[in-house]
Amino acid sequence: MKTHLRKAQQCLAAEQELAVLLPEARRLLKLEACLAGVLGRLARQTQVAGVRGETLWLQCANGSVATRLRTQERAILAAMGAAGVVVTAMKLRVRADIAWQRPRVKAAVSPKGLDALRAFQAELPPDDALSEAVQRLLSHQSGRLE
């Protein structure tokens, strides 16, 4: 489980008043995972707001996402049913005020990869444009590993 989720669970469990929220948070997390299995990348712009009665409430980033969710309604409801959640309808709410795009984590080049780039650069002529580009890449990447 992710570290920030563990911290949130520990905070919720530590306070008696908040501990009642923990089962609902776990349930929503399960529904989010189920939704991600159906929607793939579209799940990044969709959030489970909850289940009321037999209605699944979803929040989405914009009208375009809402339209795409509508076209996949049967698959979403079937996946929720397979996960043990009885839902027969789906309601959507567009929430443009929420920052949906999660920040991208830029992958760093491994130390072995950096060594390979250094060896490649050593084979290039010193004033070559490619050599300069590799040097810039190396300078950016080596700062990330420290």
Q: Specify the CATH class of 3-94 in words.
A: alpha beta
**Count of residues making up the chain:** 146
**What tokens were used for 62?**
């914009």
Confirm whether pTM is higher than 0.85. Answer: no
Q: Which residues pair with 93 in a beta bridge?
A: 59
Vertex 30 angle, CA 24 and 32, to 5°: 105
Per-residue pLDDT of the chain (146 residues; tens, 9 = 90+): 456 667 776 776 677 666 677 787 788 888 888 888 898 888 888 888 888 999 999 999 889 999 999 999 999 999 999 888 889 999 999 987 766 555 566 677 788 888 888 888 888 888 888 888 888 888 877 665 54
Q: Which residues pair with 145 in a beta bridge?
A: none
